[in-house]
Structure formats: C-alpha cells, structure tokens
Structure 1
C-alpha cells in the first residue's frame, strides 16, 4: 500500500513539474555570426565599394519562428563605426537591442557586438539595415522572415516557394560623399537607378513551376523613393503587411513606400515562358524602372513585349489602394486567437499628438524638422543617459505634442509617454512630396488618410473596424495620416522619416515610454555586453532587483 502511495505521489510530482516547467520550456535559439566588410559590387554596372555581410550583397536572409531567440554576433571590419537596426522587429521590453544611436553605442572598427533579440509574438516580413550615417546607401541590408508556429493556422495554403524581394533606389555616388553633400547643406541627387535584390536590369531571376503558387515578400529598402511593384501578366493576392494578415484582395500592381514591406501570393497560371518582374519609381517627374525575370521552368522563350507600364504620377489611385488594404479579422496572428479579437476602435485614446514635417534652412543649411525641431544626435545614446541618470544629454519634453509655429531650431528631441497609454498620432504633411514614417518597437493601426489640414472632425472618416496594423505608413502631399497606438512596450523608441536624407538632417525624434516599475515583466535590464560610450564610458551597470 505504501509503495502504491509512493508511486502515486511520484506521479503527482512529475505531473506538477511538467505543468509548471515542461509546457513553459525555453523558446528555441538561433545563432548567427556576421562579418561586415567592404567589397566590390557592380549593381548598376559600375564598380562600387559596398557593405557586405559574410561576403554577401544583399546580406544573408534571417529566418525565424514566432518567439525564437536570435543571437546575432556582428563583427565590424569596416573603417567606420557600425550599427545594425531591425526594421519592424518589436523588441518586446528590450529597446537595448534596437540598433540606432539613440539606444546603442556604435560597434567600433575591429570590434564586435552580439545582439540578443526575441521575435516575441510576431510573424511576417521585415528587413534589417545599417542605421548610422548614410551606410544604407552602400548595402548591408537583408530580409527577415518570421514564420508562424506549426500549430497556428495561416489563412492560405503553404506556397511552393517563398521569395524575398529587396527593392529600392540606388546611387552610384559613394555613401561617404552622399553624407558630405548633406552635411554641407545640399540635397541628395536624383537616384541613378533601381535595384531588385542588389541587381539592375534583368539581373535577378525567380524560377517557378506552372500551376503552382508562390509567396513574394517585397520590401522597399531605398533611401528616397516610393516604388511600384508588378509582374507581367500576373495578379498578386495581398496576404500580409508587416506582421498583419490582410483581406486577400487582388492587385495588378502595388505601391510600396520607403521602409514598407508587403507579402503577396502569385500563381504561375500563364503560358510557359519568361515574364518581367517590374519595379518603377512612384511620384517622380522622371520615372526610373528596373526588372527581374519570372522564369517558368522548362521555358524556352525569354521575356517579350514592352515592360508593363506602372501607374501615372497621380496620388488618387495610390490613396484608393491604401484604403483598400484591410485587416483579416478572422485570421490568427502569432497566437491562435483571431486578429479581430483586439477591438482597437473601441478604445478611447487618452492623448492626441500631431507631428508636422517641414524643410527649413537653419544656420544657412538645409534641415528637416518635426514640430519645428530638427533633431541633433547627442554625444551619448539617450537610453544610456536615461539609465545612468546623466544630466544635460536630453530632457523629456524637448518637442511639443502639436506644431508650435515659429522658427525652426536644433535640439535633441525626446517626447515623454506613459506605459500603457493609448494614443492617437497624426502625421501632418505640409509639403508637396509623399512622406513615409516609421516607429521602432511597435505596430500601430492606420485609422485614416485625408487631404489638407487634420481637425477633430476628421475622425468621422476613421476606419475603426478593420484597418491594418503595421510599423511604417505613408503620408500623401498636403495631407495627413492618423494612427492609433497602444504604448505597451517600455523603452526609448525612434520615430523617423524613412527618407534617409530627411532622417539624417533632423526629421526624427525619440519617444520615451516610461514606467517606474523595475520588473522584468515590463523591461529587460541593460545587457551585460552593452557598449558604453560618450558620458557613459567607464560606468558600471546596476543590478536589477527582481520583483
């Protein structure tokens, strides 16, 4: 009897251990080692010095599954400091890994740094890039694919293959020269061309089998130009935008603005031959175009006919398309519950922020501003200054919540916000060009587009039911775009123009999402391997008291 009781007790103990430990086992780790070097590249037929990762241009693809831990050791063999940033990865509780100068000290030449990133509760298509200076103009970017966990339903059958498309404008001018042009008060020249996966006209091939369906993940990794993407003779079914499953509308072409990523399904349902994959510049007086090849296996016939024309310079068709992109309310996201179970439109924002852009001359040089402030990088990353309570680096409230009017000025602009606030942000475009805005660490709901000046009456046109959640949005000329965002991620987060000249010359700020809590549930501690620079040099990290 006693033996039987001991067996039962042992079984009970094992069951409890399994319940509290077995089902909460640690998520998988993926280890990557990157060597970042210079190398000769010929993207437009002219020899250039590019930034390579493990000898590749573009850099290696990152593949992960929801909740995976990515351990990425980056060795900098350039002759200049380096940071890698992750466009669209949310870094839950962990802005220490964001890879922009507001949060991280640069990796100095001949040094290395290991990023530790968990793709917590994320799926979708994103990309990485070098964030310092104008290094993005030399390469160093690559695609990121985050796959759903095996038991989470995806709202379409598995495709026959999954292609990454990194497209965008390109300059033959060296990135250091581009930086000097900006620092001397000039504007970037018009791009020399467009690239698809690092290659020019017909330089890249996607091979398909007739009758099968393929997924194309398209990111605009350029510096200054919106693009239009299309495939000769084929329709595209939109299925995902920056981590959100969408209503599966068909499109003949898609506008993809700076920093944005789209995922489409394409069925190879045409006669066996080759077809053009086309990227052209959008909203430019002179239209740039480049092509890749969609090659049907066993095809004996190359591409033929004229390259399919893109949309005209008009804004209306692009705006109509933007409004047609909707959230798939019944599809699961990273978790098994439907995306539509989060009723974003039923939550009343506690605060409204209006960000207005402008392009003034300050001290005789071209600058770009948000609410009259042109951002100036401090000598110490903001996140470190905040952590060590270093005075004089920045102050919260260095930028106002509404356009103040008056003259533009230079300042390290940081806006304060409270953890768990639910905020309405309006991007007000006062200029005649299309703008593109990104918020690190977050996805947000794009609730409205409108022309002219935003007012409170503009809310009557908001989509409060099924607008898409994403991390980068466009703002049309002399227009506004409104978003709702739940500030559920503590940290120091970059809000920036995705036009890289504008970002470099001040069109950015940082949002300090704050809580007085020191719990690991809210924010991770400073990494043991954190690089310390500026006024933080030589300091020691404080141990975190667990709660």
Structure 2
C-alpha cells in the first residue's frame, strides 16, 4: 500500500466517473481530504491529489472511456497529463499547460475525457505545469480486455511501485530562487518508494524499518511489479537482493521477456517485471539509486525498501545487495540493449520502413547572458539551438481556431549551426528564443535523430513525445553518421516507447507514424531541462474526413 500523506493543501478533487466496459459499469471516485499530518520529515503542506502521495492509481481496461473531473483547490494553476495515453483525436485532454490547454485556475474545474484505444499496460499521470509533478503524480493501470490473457505467465499478484523524489524545502520557491540566480535548483533530499523516503540524516526515524516501504510476498508465487519513475530529474537503477526480474513490458508495450538483476528506468518511463519468490524465507533489500555517467550533481543517496517473505522469523537476517555505481554505463547499456518489442502476431511491431520526414535534432543545454540574473547569465535548454518560449494561449487552440501571432510553423528540421556535436562545442554559441513548431502532414512517416551535445556537458536526456509511441530503431556514441549508421538500424523488433533516453555523448534514432492530428509536445523529461526550454512541438494536420480530424474542444475547456 502507498503511504498516504495528508496535507492542508491537498489539491483537487479527482473523480473518475462511471464507464461501461464489456457490459460492466466501473465506478471510481477520488475525494479530496486535508489535514496537517505528514510523515515526510517536514511540516510544510504539499500539493497532492486526494491527500495521497503518490496519488491514487487509475484502473481501467483497454477500450474504456475515462472521465476525470479535476477541481483545483490550491493557489497554483494546475493541469494533469496522462503520460503515454495516445489521446487519438482528443488532444484537448492531453494536459500540458499552454500546449493543448490553458491551465485549470484556482477554484475552477475541468473534466478530462479520453478513450484507451489499443493500449494496455502501465502508464502514469502527473501535473504538467511548474514543478507540481514532484508530488502530483500517480499510476495508470490499463488491464487487457476481458478474456484476453497476458502474453506471459499470469502472475499471482500485481504491485504498483512508484519511484519519485522528495525535497524538504518548498519546491516552487526553490525553483523561483534558482531562476533568479541563473543556476540549477538544488537536487532532491531523498528518493521515495511508494511515498516512503529513504535514509535522511536529519530524519533518524526514516532510516527504514516500520517507516520504510515493505513488499510482503508468499513463497513460490509470481508477482508482476508495475514500476514507474515519477522522479523529476533522475534516471534510477532498481535491484532486489537475491532475485532476478523478468522484464515483460515497457511504456505499456509488451517486450520479448528477458531476465536481469538490475532495471534502469528514466523519468516518465514505466516497466513491468515479473518477480518469482523462489528464495528461502527472509527479508531482502530493495535498492533505488541514481544513474549519471558524467559529473553533474544528482541526489546520490540510495533509497531502500524490503521484500519480506510471509511467515519469516522476526530475527531473520536481511539479505543485502550492492547498488550499481552511479556511473555504471556498462550496466545501463547492457540493459537497454536487451529491450526488444514482442513483435508477435497479436502484438506486431509496425515499424515505418520508409521515411517521409527525416529530422535531425540536437539536444542539450547552453548558457545565455541574463542581466537580471545574479550571476549575469543563465542556463538554457535547446533543441537545434532554439530555446522554446511558452505561449500565453494554448497552441492547440491557436492552431484549431487559426489564431495568428501565437507561434510560427518554422522549426528547423536540422541544426541551424553545424559543429562537433559530441565534442565540447563552440563557447560562443548563444541560443535563439522562439515558439516555433514543425508541421507534419497526416499519416506521414517521421524519423528523428536525437543527437546529444556537449556545449556545457554531454548528458543522457530522456525525451518524451506526446500523442504517439515511437520505435527506437538505432543508437550510438559520438556523432550520428547518415552514410553508415542507418545500415545498422533494427526495423524488425526495436523497442517501442513514449520516452527514450539518448546515450551520453551519443544519439538515438526514432521513427513513428504521424496518424494523430493535433499539436503534440516533445521535450526532455528532466523537469529542470524542460523549465530551461528544452522542448518543441509538432503540428499534425487533419487527414481526410472527420475520422482523421481532431475533435472539437470540450465546452468546459479552461480559458487563459
């Protein structure tokens, strides 16, 4: 069970209204509660959904239509993003503030309405404005249609495991201060597992034990762990002492099963893994630790939980495990190389074999002058040397109603300036600012080369594309070579995801079919980089007829 955190600022009422599934009505009702009790080593109020941290799990089946009424009771503007949900023709319900909707203002509400078409597995929901997703997040569990089995042995039990970060200070105040200074904000004070903090020196009562997350299991059973990385800024390693994990799904897409003792999961990603309790009775350590293979500050604490066999003696010794080193690139690479789409008859990998739009995006951070900043400069995030400027009117609204002056559809399909991308880069490469989008015809096939850059430092950026899944058909270190690298692309069973990390100092090639009309965000899922402007958006035009066109906006769509 997730630890429940009550707060004076418990955010909004979240209701899932009844939906009809296979002639059955499913009722969901999430109520708002508020009190001043907390167990997170702090008396400050936190923003939550229904007073829970992490928030409530949304359960549905493939094919369900889901309605979620969000009522905002806090001082901040709010939106909710249903991360990984395709939102076919329903982009108004995707959730990123000022991209597909204006935010829900204090004391206002909005009903999200979307259908889970052709998807099953684990996803997540989270706030998509400011840094509110630090505490406003939760799981989405999409079960297969009734009578449709998993393509792997049926587990005896399922467990949602949400990983996150925790700051003892007020997150929004911290970000505001860092913006004024022009430097990155502080790293988190702890990672969390289902709302339980890790070892904090100033919180001796939170060193584990009764306050730590404990997974109770029976011997001889198989458990499906639905693992979600809801952290803001850190890739995480997951290990269970003495046990192997069999990965069967990532980002709500089935994979070819493979065994591993270490899972790597980036912010925004989900992983389903089978755990078989075939060890002797006892207690086994679960470790959550960061992965960062360049000298960039991260929360380097290892958070722990325990897997406890029922009927074990209280005095049974704890079986421990050593987490990977923070810079364990070889472990990360081996894990990522093992991921393949299931590509079965029932679940084929429909990889685009030809490409209509071939794009090359350089991804990274830079430094711009900032006279108002205390340091005289500030760090910015860039794609193709452009730092994205958030509009004041939602881009989807501007596109749908042909409102001029909000954006330009001239985002460059390749870098404006050529240089040694994986090297140190030019020291005087100042970025440009703009709200520039790239236009795609309906049903066109798209390839994007995501090239990491080293202007300040190379880094593994987790890139998330809204509205689509994509296939990661290739990756490599150094600069992408268009003459030789495509020959090594996997067009048979590449992993299919909605969020994918670029290798540090390298590149990743992704392909997708632009079969979902609307305006769709692409951004780094490190919140600090998104804040700095490492983001852009696509316009996907309507196709022929109403079935290939975006639906009209909801009547209660928030206004800016």
Alignment TM-score, normalising by the size of structure 2: 0.85
Out of 96, 102, 106, the position equivalent to 1:105 is 102
Out of 151, 154, 157, the position equivalent to 2:153 is 157
Out of 332, 342, 355, the position equivalent to 1:318 is 332
Tell me, in whole angstroms, the C-alpha distance in 1 between the residues paired with 2:39 and 2:539.
39
The alignment status of 1:280 with 2:289, answered yes or no, reads: yes
Out of 328, 335, 351, the position equivalent to 1:344 is 351
Tell me, in whole angstroms, the C-alpha distance in 1 between the residues paired with 2:490 and 2:544.
34
Paired position in structure 2 for 1:10 = none
Out of 203, 225, 233, the position equivalent to 2:234 is 225
Paired position in structure 1 for 2:514 = 487
Could you report, residue by residue, the CA deviation over 1:399-431 in whole angstroms, capped at 9, with x for unpaired residues? 211111263111112111111011111110013
Paired position in structure 1 for 2:415 = 403
Shift of 1:433: 1.8
Tell me, in whole angstroms, the C-alpha distance in 1 between the residues paired with 2:543 and 2:503.
38
Paired position in structure 2 for 1:253 = 262
Task: Label 1:281 to 1:302 Cα distance change in 2 as closer, same or farther (>3 A).
Answer: farther
CA contact (8 A) 2:65 2:115 kept: yes
Tell me, in whole angstroms, the C-alpha distance in 1 between the residues paired with 2:388 and 2:23.
38
**Which is further off, 500-509 or 347-356?**
347-356
The alignment status of 1:414 with 2:437, answered yes or no, reads: yes
**Which is further off, 303-312 or 239-248?**
303-312
Out of 378, 381, 385, the position equivalent to 1:372 is 385
Paired position in structure 2 for 1:21 = none
Tell me, in whole angstroms, the C-alpha distance in 2 between the residues paired with 1:37 and 1:491.
36
Shift of 1:150: 2.1
Q: Structure 1: state its 5+ residue gaps.
A: 1-23, 331-336, 534-547
Q: Secondary structure, in 3 states, of the residue corresponding to 2:249? A: strand
Could you report, residue by residue, the CA deviation over 1:55-81 in whole angstroms, capped at 9, with x for unpaired residues? 211111111100101111111111111
Paired position in structure 2 for 1:15 = none
Tell me, in whole angstroms, the C-alpha distance in 2 between the residues paired with 1:252 and 1:447.
25
Paired position in structure 1 for 2:460 = 434
Task: Label 1:128 to 1:468 Cα distance change in 2 as closer, same or farther (>3 A).
Answer: same
Shift of 1:302: 5.9
CA contact (8 A) 2:285 2:318 kept: no
Tell me, in whole angstroms, the C-alpha distance in 1 between the residues paired with 2:164 and 2:105.
28
Could you report, residue by residue, the CA deviation over 1:80-133 in whole angstroms, capped at 9, with x for unpaired residues? 110011111111111110011201111111111110011111011111111111
Tell me, in whole angstroms, the C-alpha distance in 1 between the residues paired with 2:251 and 2:303.
24
Tell me, in whole angstroms, the C-alpha distance in 2 between the residues paired with 1:162 and 1:238.
14
Give runs of aligned pairs for residues 117-136 of structure 1, distance below 5 A.
Answer: 117-136=114-133
CA contact (8 A) 1:181 1:187 kept: no
Out of 122, 144, 151, the position equivalent to 1:148 is 144
CA contact (8 A) 1:103 1:384 kept: yes
Paired position in structure 2 for 1:471 = 498
Shift of 1:33: 4.7
CA contact (8 A) 2:387 2:535 kept: yes
Q: Give the structure with higher Rg (CA).
A: 1
Tell me, in whole angstroms, the C-alpha distance in 2 between the residues paired with 1:409 and 1:508.
13
Q: Secondary structure, in 3 states, of the residue corresponding to 2:528? A: helix
CA contact (8 A) 2:408 2:437 kept: yes
Could you report, residue by residue, the CA deviation over 1:172-219 in whole angstroms, capped at 9, with x for unpaired residues? 221211320342222022221110011123311111110000000111
Out of 458, 476, 483, the position equivalent to 1:450 is 476
Out of 321, 340, 362, the position equivalent to 1:308 is 321
The alignment status of 1:45 with 2:54, answered yes or no, reads: no
Q: Secondary structure, in 3 states, of the residue corresponding to 2:256? A: coil
CA contact (8 A) 1:279 1:291 kept: yes
Shift of 1:43: 5.8
CA contact (8 A) 1:43 1:200 kept: no
Tell me, in whole angstroms, the C-alpha distance in 1 between the residues paired with 2:414 and 2:450.
10
Shift of 1:30: 5.0
Task: Label 1:504 to 1:28 Cα distance change in 2 as closer, same or farther (>3 A).
Answer: farther
Paired position in structure 2 for 1:55 = 51
CA contact (8 A) 1:36 1:52 kept: no
Task: Label 1:269 to 1:395 Cα distance change in 2 as closer, same or farther (>3 A).
Answer: same
Shift of 1:50: 1.5
Tell me, in whole angstroms, the C-alpha distance in 2 between the residues paired with 1:25 and 1:282.
41
Paired position in structure 2 for 1:20 = none
Shift of 1:155: 1.3
Tell me, in whole angstroms, the C-alpha distance in 1 between the residues paired with 2:40 and 2:489.
43
Paired position in structure 1 for 2:532 = 505
Shift of 1:36: 5.9
Q: How many residues align?
A: 500
CA contact (8 A) 1:30 1:71 kept: no
Give runs of aligned pairs for residues 132-211 of structure 1, distance below 5 A.
Answer: 132-137=129-134, 139-184=135-180, 185-201=182-198, 202=208, 203-211=212-220
Tell me, in whole angstroms, the C-alpha distance in 1 between the residues paired with 2:152 and 2:129.
38
Alignment TM-score, normalising by the size of structure 1: 0.87
Task: Label 1:409 to 1:401 Cα distance change in 2 as closer, same or farther (>3 A).
Answer: same
